[in-house]
């Protein structure tokens, strides 16, 4: 038999090797193979019969690295589906399934030496040691006083090695080695929690999920596509979706199954992670966390704990969808509407959709939860593909917060042409909350101090030399920063073009809001949460801890505070500029604005006190804002779906983007125009081919970008057509062409 092996390393080298008769090689195995004059490691992608004729001898696999395959048959099926659906190479998908920390031979389990005192040590032996070898006597005394008569050798003092060796030779002490877990959450103090009483709607949702859980015993050799239909749990903010998740997870564990919980970003949902760890703290470290912020050693340990079944619950971001959990019984996707579930680099998979596919392959139960579901998931409930579960009321039986919309056009007239950051209504509301000892949250999805630096004389705006965007002024660093590529430059005192000293700041960000609050409410205690303020590790946790203990009155932040936070004393939420994401060239702009406003507004009134939300906007009549004001998802979805259907946008069609980028503008455009002509030939029926257009962000990281948007009723014909053309086309060396199926980013 012949094994097709993906070689470890930065390049995607794939070679065929003969399998020795005495080596049990199967798909997903890790093997050692010869390459040129050395040997290296790799992953077996497939096992095939040998060719009938071959001109030269094929080299053999040298050995197995692991006795068991690291990639399960289900994950291999998922990998092939991703490769075919998204048009990505199988090699790139395998690299996502097997993280670098697992593939590289530089990582291994961390171990430590431990010393254990033998039982029934005669008293006379201790007396002899006390007189003749006092160091050995001290070590033995410490071991006898320790729990289980065992201590790490590092706790027995420097220079203890010779004494331990002597004690071991005398048969008084045994030296052994044990693995030490590098726990990424070791510093957290978790207080165990108990299940809460569910209300009627929660109980109904829980019973439906519990009844769909697999009972066990299914053969995993060829898992059928007969799992229960996915559940969409649509619950308003504060309706207790997390409690339903927790009790459903417990039900799966009781059946001997494992649980996978996906969150949009670990940094954005710290309380979700803490609530799971608190509820299942009794499982003796059987909760694992997977995300990109882990060190290589931590990721290695967590991944192998998952594969061996030591961890029965996995909480992670997008890439955790590939966690090698055995006996998977339940997948939970929190905030399933979030765009962060879409991978931006190759392979460009949508983790939510991959999770649904994996649930069908296992088979297991999957729950997608959100207060503002994606319209794709909503459409699946309408056509019967998903089962809809609703939580229409808050778990504490309190009403939803009152939402007030402030027309900033009128506020601008009051200020004689100046646009205020805080409207009169919002400033008064903040003062009232301070007097009552209540807390407030101010949301602005733009970091920095000012969005740009512009000359009033000639109109020149300081732009990034590498990207087609204005530089943002950051006062804390006294720098102009590009939020696309990270370029920084000093702040000019005069206009670089006309040398006019009248160069001024335009717009505002979270740093500016912080400065305004210091002047308007000097007695208030406030903190800022954004990517700039959260550079140090654990800063986010520290600030949220202080806010929870009411040591902070006002929290200012970007989307990092938009979801996953539960603070009962927060009674006011201010959305300073609801228009930021509304007027961008993206058909999902309105949907995202509605979702963001609804999620942020949901932070208010989650305790005994009533909540109030103040939305500042220049487009108060936008459907996204008006339906969010009424907490009316159904109404918004109805009118938005009508528009999507009329213009044939998702969820009524699949949308892909073909992008060409190069440092030479004309070459990138010409390459895409050539591809456009070839795509037009023999275009499959049902595919709509757009024109070659500059990307909304035409230059990024010194590369010019052009794109074609394609739509199709079915995904596979579109992907196959694109891949067929790309394989036949020889691209210029300095031009890169990428295809993004079911694209979420059109900039």
Answer yes or no: do 490 and 519 share one domain: no
Task: Give the rounded percent of residues in the chain with a pLDDT score beyond 90.
Answer: 63
Residue 659 pLDDT: 97
Answer yes or no: do 306 and 435 share one domain: no
Greater pLDDT, 473 or 218: 473
Domain end, chosen from 488, 507, 526, is at 507
Q: Decide: 552 and 526 in contact? Cβ < 8 Å.
A: yes
Q: Is residue 746 part of a domain?
A: no
Answer yes or no: do 716 and 677 share one domain: yes
- The count of C-alpha atoms lying within 13 angstroms of the C-alpha of 71, restricted to the half-sphere facing its C-beta, is 28
Judged against a pLDDT cut of 60, whether residue 647 lies above it is answered with yes
Q: How far apart are CA 206 and CA 210, in angstroms?
A: 6
The total number of structural domains that make up the chain: 6
Judged against a pLDDT cut of 50, whether residue 226 lies above it is answered with no
Q: Is residue 193 part of a domain?
A: no
In the numeric block, which tokens belong to residue 110? Answer: 């961390």
Q: Decide: 367 and 248 in contact? Cβ < 8 Å.
A: yes
429: confidence class by pLDDT, cuts 50, 70, 90: very high
Domain span including residue 562: 402-447+509-644
Residue 222 pLDDT: 43
Answer yes or no: do 258 and 286 share one domain: yes
Flag whether the pTM goes above 0.75: yes
CA 680 to chain centre: 37
Answer yes or no: do 633 and 496 share one domain: no
Answer yes or no: do 368 and 242 share one domain: yes
Judged against a pLDDT cut of 80, whether residue 283 lies above it is answered with no
Q: Is residue 190 part of a domain?
A: no
State the first-to-last Cα distance of the chain, in angstroms, to the nearest integer: 47
Residue 218 pLDDT: 45
Q: Is residue 184 part of a domain?
A: no
Judged against a pLDDT cut of 50, whether residue 598 lies above it is answered with yes
pLDDT digits (tens, 9 = 90+) for 680-699: 998 999 999 999 999 999 99
**Beta carbons within 10 angstroms of residue 47's beta carbon:** 15
Q: Using CB atoms within 10 A of its CB, is residue 652 exposed (0-12), middle (13-18) or buried (19+)?
A: middle
Q: Which residues pair with 439 in a beta bridge?
A: 570
Answer yes or no: do 24 and 51 share one domain: yes
Q: How far apart are CA 315 and CA 35, in angstroms?
A: 38
What is the secondary structure of 534-584 as a DSSP string?
T-STTHHHHHHHHHHTT--SEEEESGGGSSS---TTEEEEEES-TTTTTSS
Q: Is residue 364 part of a domain?
A: yes
Answer yes or no: do 730 and 631 share one domain: no
427: confidence class by pLDDT, cuts 50, 70, 90: very high
Average pLDDT of span 614-622? 95
186: confidence class by pLDDT, cuts 50, 70, 90: low
Q: How far apart are CA 422 and CA 447, in angstroms?
A: 17
Q: Is the peptide bond before 644 cis (omega within 30 degrees of 0)?
A: no
Judged against a pLDDT cut of 60, whether residue 366 lies above it is answered with yes
Answer yes or no: do 581 and 629 share one domain: yes
Which pairing describes strands 479-481 and 472-474: parallel, antiparallel, or unpaired?
antiparallel
Q: Decide: 625 and 593 in contact? Cβ < 8 Å.
A: yes
Answer yes or no: do 215 and 348 share one domain: yes
Answer yes or no: do 126 and 262 share one domain: no
pLDDT digits (tens, 9 = 90+) for 193-206: 899 999 999 999 99
Q: Residue by residue, what is the 3-state secondary structure of 387-434?
A: EEEEECCCCCCCCCCEEEEEEHHHHHHHCCCCCCCCCHHHHHHHHHHH
The CATH number linked to 149 is 1.10.10
Answer yes or no: do 530 and 615 share one domain: yes
Q: Decide: 521 and 479 in contact? Cβ < 8 Å.
A: no
Q: How far apart are CA 381 and CA 392, in angstroms?
A: 17
The CATH number linked to 359 is 3.40.50.300
Q: Is residue 230 part of a domain?
A: yes
Residue 268 pLDDT: 62
Q: Is residue 187 part of a domain?
A: no
In the numeric block, which tokens belong to residue 521? Answer: 């409410």
pLDDT digits (tens, 9 = 90+) for 234-280: 999 989 999 999 999 999 999 999 999 999 987 666 677 788 888 98
- Which segment, 3-7, 53-57, 290-294, 468-472, is predicted with the most confidence on average? 468-472
pLDDT digits (tens, 9 = 90+) for 143-154: 888 888 888 888
Q: Dihedral (C-alpha) 5, 6, 7, 9: value to the nearest 10 degrees?
A: -170
Judged against a pLDDT cut of 50, whether residue 220 lies above it is answered with no
170: confidence class by pLDDT, cuts 50, 70, 90: confident
- The count of C-alpha atoms lying within 13 angstroms of the C-alpha of 702, restricted to the half-sphere facing its C-beta, is 4
Residue with the two structure tokens 């986010």:
540
Q: Is residue 126 part of a domain?
A: yes
227: confidence class by pLDDT, cuts 50, 70, 90: low
Judged against a pLDDT cut of 90, whether residue 356 lies above it is answered with yes
């Amino acid at each position: 038999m012949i094994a097709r092996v993906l070689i470890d390393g930065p390049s995607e080298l794939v070679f065929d090797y003969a399998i020795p008769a005495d080596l049990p090689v199967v798909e997903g195995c890790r093997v050692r193979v010869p390459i040129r004059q050395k040997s290296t490691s790799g992953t077996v992608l497939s096992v095939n019969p040998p060719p009938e004729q071959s001109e030269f001898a094929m080299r053999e696999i040298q050995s197995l690295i692991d006795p068991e395959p690291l990639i399960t048959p289900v994950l291999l099926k998922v990998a092939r589906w991703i490769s075919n659906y998204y048009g990505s190479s199988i090699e790139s998908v395998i690299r996502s399934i097997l993280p670098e920390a697992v593939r590289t031979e530089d990582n291994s389990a961390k171990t430590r030496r431990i010393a254990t005192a033998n039982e029934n040590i005669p008293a006379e032996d201790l007396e002899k040691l006390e007189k003749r070898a006092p160091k050995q006597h001290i070590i033995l005394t410490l071991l006898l006083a320790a729990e289980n008569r065992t201590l790490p050798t590092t706790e027995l003092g420097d220079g203890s090695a010779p004494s331990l060796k002597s004690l071991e030779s005398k048969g008084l002490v045994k030296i052994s080695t044990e693995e030490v877990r590098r726990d990424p959450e070791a510093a957290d103090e978790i207080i165990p929690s108990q299940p809460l009483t569910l209300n009627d709607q929660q109980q109904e949702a829980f019973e439906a999920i519990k009844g769909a859980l697999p009972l066990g015993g299914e053969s995993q050799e060829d898992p059928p596509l007969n799992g229960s239909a996915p559940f969409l749990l649509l619950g308003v903010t504060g309706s207790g979706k997390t409690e339903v998740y927790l009790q459903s997870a417990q039900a799966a564990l009781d059946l001997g199954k494992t649980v996978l919980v996906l969150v949009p970003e670990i940094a954005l949902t710290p309380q979700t992670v803490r609530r799971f760890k608190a509820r299942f703290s009794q499982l003796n470290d059987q909760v694992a966390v997977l995300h990109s912020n882990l060190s290589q050693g931590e990721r290695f340990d967590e991944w192998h704990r998952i594969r061996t079944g030591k961890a029965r619950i996995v909480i992670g971001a997008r890439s955790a969808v590939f966690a090698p959990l055995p006996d998977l019984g339940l997948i939970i996707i929190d905030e399933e509407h979030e765009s962060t579930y879409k991978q931006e680099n190759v392979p460009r998979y949508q983790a939510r959709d991959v999770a649904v596919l994996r649930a069908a392959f296992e088979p297991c139960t999957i729950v997608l939860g959100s207060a503002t579901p994606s319209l794709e998931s909503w459409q699946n409930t309408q056509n019967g593909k998903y089962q809809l579960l609703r939580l229409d009321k808050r778990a504490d039986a309190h009403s939803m917060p009152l939402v007030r919309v402030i027309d900033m056009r009128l506020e601008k007239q009051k200020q004689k042409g100046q646009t205020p950051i805080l409207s009169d209504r919002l400033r008064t509301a903040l003062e009232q909350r301070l007097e009552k000892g209540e807390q407030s949250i101010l949301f602005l999805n733009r970091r920095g101090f000012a969005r740009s630096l512009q000359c009033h004389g000639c109109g020149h705006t300081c732009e990034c030399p590498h990207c087609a965007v204005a530089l943002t002024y950051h006062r804390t660093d006294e720098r102009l920063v590009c939020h696309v590529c990270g370029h920084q430059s000093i702040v000019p005192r005069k206009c670089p073009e006309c040398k006019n000293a009248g160069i001024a700041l335009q717009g505002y960000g979270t740093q500016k809001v912080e400065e305004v609050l210091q002047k308007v409410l000097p007695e208030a205690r406030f903190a800022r949460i954004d990517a700039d303020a959260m550079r140090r590790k654990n800063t986010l946790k520290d600030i949220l801890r202080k806010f929870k203990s009411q040591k902070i009155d006002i929290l200012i932040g970007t989307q990092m505070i938009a979801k996953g936070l539960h603070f009962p004393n927060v009674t006011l939420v201010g959305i300073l500029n609801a228009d930021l994401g509304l007027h961008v060239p993206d058909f999902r702009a309105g949907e995202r604005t509605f979702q963001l406003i609804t999620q942020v507004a949901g932070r208010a009134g989650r305790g005994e006190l009533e909540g109030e939300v103040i939305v500042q906007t220049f487009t108060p009549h936008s459907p996204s804002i008006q339906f969010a004001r009424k907490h009316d998802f159904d109404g918004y979805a109805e009118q938005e779906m009508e528009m999507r259907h009329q213009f044939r946008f998702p969820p009524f069609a699949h949308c892909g983007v073909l992008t060409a980028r190069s440092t030479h503008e004309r070459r990138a455009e010409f390459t895409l125009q050539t591809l456009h002509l070839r795509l037009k030939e023999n275009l499959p029926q049902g595919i709509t081919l757009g024109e070659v257009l500059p990307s909304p962000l035409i230059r990024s990281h010194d590369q010019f970008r052009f794109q074609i948007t394609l739509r199709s009723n079915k995904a596979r014909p579109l992907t196959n057509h694109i891949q067929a053309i790309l394989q036949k086309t020889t691209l210029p060396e300095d031009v890169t062409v990428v295809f993004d199926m079911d694209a979420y980013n059109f900039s």
